[in-house]
Amino acid sequence: MMKPTAEGPRFKSKNEILAECATVGITQNTPVYLYCFKGARASNTFLALKNAGVKDVRMYFGSWNEWSRDPSLPIDEGPADRCPLNRQSGIKRACLSAARRNTGRRCNLFPDRRSGTSALAGVTKGRSMSTFDNPFDADRELRAIGLRLRPAWHCCRARSRERCAALRAGRAGESEEKRYEGVVASAVMRAVFPQDAARRAFLKSVGASTALAAISQFFPLKTATEVFAQGGAPEKKDLKVGFIPITCATPIIMAAPLGFYSKHGLERRSGEDRRLGRDPRQDHQQGIRRLPHAGADADRDLARARCQRDPFTVPAIENINGQGITLAMKHKDKRDPKDWKGMKFAIPFDYSMHNYLLRYYLAEHGLDPDTDVQLRSVPPPEMVANLRADNIDGFLAPDNICQRAIYDGVGFMHILSKEIWDGHPCCSFAASREFITQIAEQLCGADAGDRRRHRLCVEGRRTASRSRKRSRRPTTSTRPSRCWSRCLTGTYADGLGGVKTDAKRVDFDPFPGSRSRSGC
């Protein structure tokens, strides 16, 4: 109900307060009962609501001070393991286990630089191709595939058993090994050349054997073939997945409470990357792979170095949309990007989708992103504070960061990234190549879970938002659950007194651009 201003904290305007209320279903005619700890902050809200014209506002003056002392009064708590009282020990346990298991493979979620580039170059849809055709035949068309990011081994795995059986029957003369090799190579070729014309041109110019050799150079065809042929249950059941607590990570977070991994015999231990902005050297000593999101140069270099040593691949895109341009309140009249000359914007890091989208948007409005504005890499968790401190004029950031700025009254939503490019890929689920080749089978299993999760996220947003609220609250204590639900449900205050509804503010699609084939 308050917002910081240059002169100190002030009440939000009547319209802003009504907009905040509207996002949780409170209108001027709703009876509202307020409480806090012992009545002072609730008094503040009382005045704000009264001033905004809410007719029936009352206060439970005893508040928590009284309620919590009476054991007969009910209290809703989160799940036992998420109870704040157990929080510290929980974190400690997580750190210990991270340190202990630092030799194990780990997957990280970060906004994908590859999706950023390739996506901006245009989502390339190829033409018809079949898994079982000879991929090194220049005269044959391969079957459609969505983004070039789509992992080869995923497609291999995605073939149904029936198709495999039919293949066996149809090509009885061929050795099984040879057939599998063909399937894997075909998938790789599809992934490398989503456009058939390019593949054919490539094959015609270098020849099939050279092409095979070239592909083998950077993709472990042999290993992948072996893995594909083996099939069966996952070997490594215990996965550790790192993520940054932003809306994009919803599928990863929601998987555990919704039981998708257990269905596939997997146990995935998701761990929020709580180390953002901490000392990178310490993490290095502990063998923790830092995320590029972390921002500081040292961190990025470290992350890059590690990525070079241990290349990453992207099995699935976590989400689409889900970002936005937030501007400081003082710019509420500067809604035309042409007026933004000389402004400073924050982006998560140089190679992020955010950077590309912002540059695209600025350029579209006639500004040179390199010379007309300043773009700074700022870790998203620090963006709101920087906006408040007037260090930056705005930012393009993942969601809940944008909403947090609105929640705090320091900024407003200028435009959703969805409005810049509807359906753009955002964060990706990445895993090291070594990890994939070693336990591809397992990831395939996990991948099935991924897709179900995505479907659930789309279908049951509200539920997802609620369960997420419940399960994530303690570890995201600096990001109010209201911000989460507003991002996930798409009903949000825009910071200027308006309430907007956009169910696809953040959306979930593991393979953007290939929606029709998501059942693959």
39 counts as binding other proteins under rule CB under 8 A: yes
Tokens of 304: 């890059």
**Is 63 or 115 the residue whose CB approaches other proteins more closely?**
63
Residue 149: CB partners within 8 Å, gap ≥ 6?
112, 114, 115, 118, 191, 314, 317, 425, 428
Instruction: For residue 123, give both structure tokens.
Output: 């989502």
Structure tokens at 167: 């293949």
Task: Output the smallest distance, CB 66 to other proteins, in A.
Answer: 6
| 205 contact partners, CB below 8 Å, separation of at least 6 | none
User: In 3-state terms, what secondary structure has residue 99?
Assistant: helix
Q: Does 365 engage in binding with other proteins (CB under 8 A)?
A: no
List the alpha helices (DSSP H) in 372-500. Answer: 380-388, 401-407, 417-420, 433-438, 440-459, 461-472, 481-489
Question: Does the footprint of other proteins cover residue 60 (CB under 8 A)?
Answer: yes
CA 513 to centroid of chain Cα atoms: 17
Please, what is the angle between helix 113-120 and helix 353-364, to 10°?
30
Question: Least distance to other proteins from the beta carbon of 37, Å?
Answer: 4
Does 389 sit near other proteins (CB under 8 A)? no
CB 225 within 8 A of CB 441: no
Per CB under 8 A, 342 contacts other proteins: no
Our CB check for other proteins shows the closer of 68 and 285 to be 68
**Shorter beta-carbon distance to other proteins: residue 250 or 476:** 476
Q: Closer to other proteins at the Cβ: 11 or 360?
A: 11
Q: Provide, rounded to whole angstroms, the least separation between the CB of residue 407 and other proteins.
A: 9
* Choice from 17, 18, 19, 49 touching other proteins (CB under 8 A): 49
399 or 509: whose CB is closer to other proteins? 399
Determine, following the binding rule CB under 8 A, whether residue 481 of this chain makes contact with other proteins.
Answer: yes
Residue 482 interacts with other proteins (CB under 8 A): yes or no: yes
Enter the tokens of residue 310: 């241990």
- 440: CB partners within 8 A, 6+ apart: 153, 157, 224, 227, 228
Whole-angstrom distance, CA of residue 109 vs CA of residue 240: 11
By CB under 8 A, the residues from 231 to 270 that bind other proteins are none
Separation between Cα atoms, residue 414 and residue 412, nearest integer Å = 6
**107 phi and psi, to 5 degrees?**
-110, 145
In the structure encoding, which two tokens stand for residue 254, read together? 């929601």
What type of residue sits at position 78? G
User: Does 79 help bind other proteins (rule: CB under 8 A)?
Assistant: no
DSSP-assigned beta bridge partners for residue 243: 272
Please choose, out of 66-74, 146-154, 315-323, 360-368, the segment that lies near other proteins by the rule CB under 8 A.
66-74
Residue 410 Cβ vs other proteins, minimum distance, rounded to whole Å: 12
Nearer to other proteins, 7 or 336 (CB): 7
Count of residues engaged in binding other proteins, rule: CB under 8 A: 60
Interaction of residue 329 with other proteins, rule CB under 8 A: no
- C-alpha 183 chain-centroid distance: 31
Q: Is 62 in the site for other proteins (CB under 8 A)?
A: yes
In the bound complex, what is the minimum distance in angstroms from residue 59's beta carbon to other proteins?
Answer: 6
Residue (42 or 346) nearer to other proteins, CB: 42
Which residue's structure tokens are 């696809």? 504
Q: Which of residues 2-21 bind other proteins (CB under 8 A)?
A: 2, 4, 7-11
Cβ proximity to other proteins: between 77 and 176 the closer is 77
If one asks whether residue 71 binds other proteins (CB under 8 A), the answer comes out as: no
41 or 236: CB nearest other proteins? 41
User: Of 29, 76, 160, 519, which lies in the binding site for other proteins, with binding defined by CB under 8 A?
Assistant: 76
67 in contact with other proteins (CB under 8 A): yes
Q: Between 268 and 479, whose beta carbon lies closer to other proteins?
A: 479
In one letter, which amino acid is 298? A
Residue span binding other proteins (CB under 8 A) among the ranges 33-41, 171-179, 330-338, 486-494: 33-41
Looking at the chain, how many residues does it have?
A: 520
Chain position carrying tokens 């257990």:
262
Task: Report the residue from 53, 79, 84, 277 that binds other proteins according to the rule CB under 8 A.
Answer: 84
Tokens of 130: 């079949």
Q: Please give the angle made by the CA atoms of 447, 477 and 30, to the nearest 5 degrees.
A: 100
> Which of 29, 70, 217, 309 is close enough to bind other proteins by CB under 8 A?
70
Please select the residue that binds other proteins; options are 17, 18, 19, 34, rule is CB under 8 A.
Answer: 34
The residue among 75 and 169 lying less far from other proteins, judged by its C-beta, is: 75
Q: How far apart are CA 394 and CA 346, in angstroms?
A: 6
Give residues 440-469 in contact with other proteins (rule: CB under 8 A): 469
Cα(96)–Cα(105) distance, integer angstroms:
16
Query: What Rg do the C-alpha atoms of the chain give, in angstroms?
Result: 25
Sites for other proteins among residues 423-442 (CB under 8 A) = none
Q: Which residues bind other proteins (CB under 8 A)?
A: 1-2, 4, 7-11, 24-26, 30-47, 49, 57-64, 66-68, 70, 73-78, 84-85, 408, 469, 473-474, 477-482
